């Protein structure tokens, strides 16, 4: 509650910043923030997300909403896909994770102040909590036989490897080491809107 109040009442800033961004740009990872650039080399530190885990988080939010809609429509017609206990657990998951995301994201849409990517991080944490909980729900309640469960495990493993690979690729921008060449930095510019700095060498 205190965080929401501070977000709504903080002094409005009139100046724009080079790395300021709009809330809808956070969801699509359309922005980054450069914090540090070495005086003579290409070593640098950015606030930039992991594109794979960010995408998985967004897909989890969409999947939960679609699944909740299907469940509610079927329950209205008297078809109960879940036991009452499992349904209550699914609803609680939405209240905590989706509700937490909304409480930490939607107020920024109403703000007329300079905003940055790091303002999205509390909301993103709720989506990171939603992803494994939704995966567990699908594994337990939707896939009852061995073959779909094995396929889900393989897909999950592939996603985890992709997340780690993406993390490994972006480490030089996160920690400023090792220094990359201009060509290597250009290869990491997955979005045209990212402002990655480099000196041609």
- Kindly report the pTM of this predicted structure: 0.84
What 8-state DSSP symbol labels residue 59? H
Residue 118 reports pLDDT greater than 60: yes
pLDDT of residue 17: 75
pLDDT of residue 91: 96
How far is residue 200 CA from its own chain's centroid? 32
- pLDDT tens, 52-102? 999 999 999 999 999 999 999 999 998 888 899 999 999 999 999 999 999
Confidence band for 200, pLDDT divided at 50, 70 and 90: low
pLDDT of residue 114: 84
Tokens read off for 135 = 């995966």
- Give the DSSP H or E segment for 114: none
pLDDT of residue 145: 74
- pLDDT tens, 1-39? 887 777 677 655 555 677 889 999 999 999 999 888 888
Confidence band for 201, pLDDT divided at 50, 70 and 90: low
Give residue for tokens 């109403």.
110
Between CA 67 and CA 118 the distance in angstroms is 29
Between CA 114 and CA 108 the distance in angstroms is 10
pLDDT of residue 113: 80
What angle is formed at CA 133 by the lines to CA 127 and CA 135, rounded to 5 degrees? 100
Axis-axis angle for helices 51-76, 121-137 (nearest 10): 60
DSSP string across the chain: -HHHHHHHHSPPP-S--TT---HHHHHTT---EEEEE-SSSS-EEEE---HHHHHHHHHHHHHHHHHHHHHHHHHHTT--SS-HHHHHHHHHHIIIIIHHHHHHHHHHHT--S---GGGGHHHHHHHHHHHHHHHHHIIIII--SHHHHHHHHHHHHHHHHHHHHHHHHHHHHHH--S---HHHHHHT--STT--------
- pLDDT tens, 152-189? 999 999 999 999 999 999 999 999 888 888 888 889 89
Average pLDDT, stretch 125-143? 93
């Amino acid at each position: 509650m205190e965080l929401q109040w501070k977000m709504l009442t903080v002094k409005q800033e009139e100046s724009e910043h080079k790395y300021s961004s709009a809330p809808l740009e956070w969801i699509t990872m359309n922005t980054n923030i450069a914090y540090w650039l070495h005086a003579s080399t290409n070593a640098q530190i950015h606030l930039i997300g992991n594109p794979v885990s960010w995408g998985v988080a967004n897909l989890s939010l969409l999947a939960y909403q679609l699944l909740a809609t299907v469940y509610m429509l079927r329950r209205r017609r008297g078809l109960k896909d879940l036991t009452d206990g499992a349904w209550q657990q699914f609803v609680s998951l939405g209240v905590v994770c989706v509700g937490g995301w909304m409480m930490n994201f939607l107020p920024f849409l109403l703000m007329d102040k300079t905003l940055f990517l790091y303002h999205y991080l509390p909301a993103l944490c709720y989506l990171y909590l939603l992803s494994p909980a939704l995966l567990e729900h699908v594994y337990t309640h939707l896939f009852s036989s061995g073959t779909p469960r094995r396929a889900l495990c393989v897909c999950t493993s592939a996603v985890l490897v992709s997340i780690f690979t993406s993390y490994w690729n972006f480490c030089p921008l996160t920690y400023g080491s090792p220094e990359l060449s201009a060509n290597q930095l250009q290869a990491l510019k997955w979005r045209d809107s990212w402002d990655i700095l480099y000196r041609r060498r």
